Amino acid sequence: MYAEAAEKRIAKDQFWRFKRYLDVQNDLLAARKSLVRALFYEEGYERFRRIVKHAENLWDDACLLFLEHRYTTGLAISITCLEEIGKIGVARFELVIDEVKRQQGTLPPDPRDGPRGKHPFYSHRQKLLLAAGALALVNARLDRILGLPQVVDFLDRVERGEIERLRQACLYVDTLNGDLSVPSECVGRADAEFHVILAGELLAEVAGFEPPEWKRLLAQVKNFERSIGHPHE
């Protein structure tokens, strides 16, 4: 058991990545804009649930597209879902931090929205680092379901900034080395399957911090994995 843990720690470069992802998360938490800022906790939690529902709908859409063999658009939507999962990760901490500030009487009002490009929520790399790093870095189930080498490869691609480029390559026709590059001709089932399952597993992990919700989301993920013949245990 200790040898296996050491292997994963080395393969994922966990110490360095954890610090990197923690810095990204702290940057997002320190940003002025909050997605769940509200006068009362119950209102903030309701906003959190709406964010989760949006991400869950995106994942459902990715699954439907995959089942219809629309692998390129299914993959693109799954990456968008990962970005929204990054927001959920931040919002989960904001709920706790805001409640502490309410009790202390120091909760500031949420300022008006600023330009999208200047806010870290709209930086694809930061969101993906948060989603992939914080949740895929130490996740024994993910390593088992998708395979440790594949998870490490995903983390490496996140670090290299390749995931957003992959999403765009799934949506837009382009030229590559003088040839026409059509998304549906470049992305296969295996790539789509990996990313759709990854998004589902991470959604259950970050959004299901309450046991009943975790069980509900994980059951949906397992059902999808079972339906496409992917190992689900």
Residue 114 has pLDDT above 90, yes or no: no
Q: What's the rounded Cα separation, in Å, for the pair 42 and 120?
A: 26
Domain-located, residue 39: yes
Which sign does the torsion angle of CA 157, 159, 164, 169 carry? Answer: negative
How many domains does the chain divide into? 1
| Amino acid occupying residue 71 | Y
- pLDDT by residue (tens digit) across 196-207? 999 999 999 888
Domain-located, residue 35: yes
Domain-located, residue 97: yes
Domain-located, residue 86: yes
Stretch 92-115: mean pLDDT? 79
Q: Are 161 and 37 in contact (CB under 8 A)?
A: no
Residue 12 has pLDDT above 60, yes or no: yes
Coil, helix or strand for 180?
Answer: strand
Q: Report the pLDDT value the prediction gives residue 162, as an integer from 0 to 100.
A: 87
Domain-located, residue 197: yes
Identify which has the larger pLDDT, 7 or 217: 217
20-29, 159-168, 211-220 — most confident range: 211-220
Q: Report the pLDDT value the prediction gives residue 126, as an integer from 0 to 100.
A: 62
Lowest-confidence pick of 119-123, 125-129, 152-156: 119-123
* DSSP for residue 13: T
Stretch 100-116: mean pLDDT? 73
Of all helices (H) and strands (E), which one includes residue 91?
helix 71-104
The whole domain housing 33 covers 2-227
84-88, 118-122, 189-193, 209-213 — most confident range: 189-193
Residue 155 has pLDDT above 90, yes or no: no
Q: What's the rounded Cα separation, in Å, for the pair 192 and 73?
A: 9
Q: Are 94 and 35 in contact (CB under 8 A)?
A: yes
| Residue 183 pLDDT level (bands cut at 50, 70, 90) | confident
| Amino acid occupying residue 90 | V
- pLDDT by residue (tens digit) across 34-76? 889 898 999 999 999 999 999 999 999 999 999 999 999 999 9
Domain-located, residue 206: yes
Q: Which residue has the tokens 């759709």?
A: 196
Q: Report the pLDDT value the prediction gives residue 58, as an integer from 0 to 100.
A: 97
Provide the token pair at 214.
């975790």
Percent of the chain, pLDDT > 70? 84
| Residue 132 pLDDT level (bands cut at 50, 70, 90) | low
Q: Report the pLDDT value the prediction gives residue 120, as an integer from 0 to 100.
A: 47
Which sign does the torsion angle of CA 68, 200, 118, 40 carry? Answer: positive
Domain-located, residue 233: no
Q: How far is CA 61 from the centre of its chain?
A: 15
Stretch 147-158: mean pLDDT? 89
| Residue 17 pLDDT level (bands cut at 50, 70, 90) | confident
In a 13 Å sphere around the CA of 204, the CA atoms on its Cβ side amount to: 22
Identify which has the larger pLDDT, 14 or 3: 14
Domain-located, residue 83: yes
DSSP-assigned beta bridge partners for residue 180:
175
Provide the token pair at 109.
């009002």
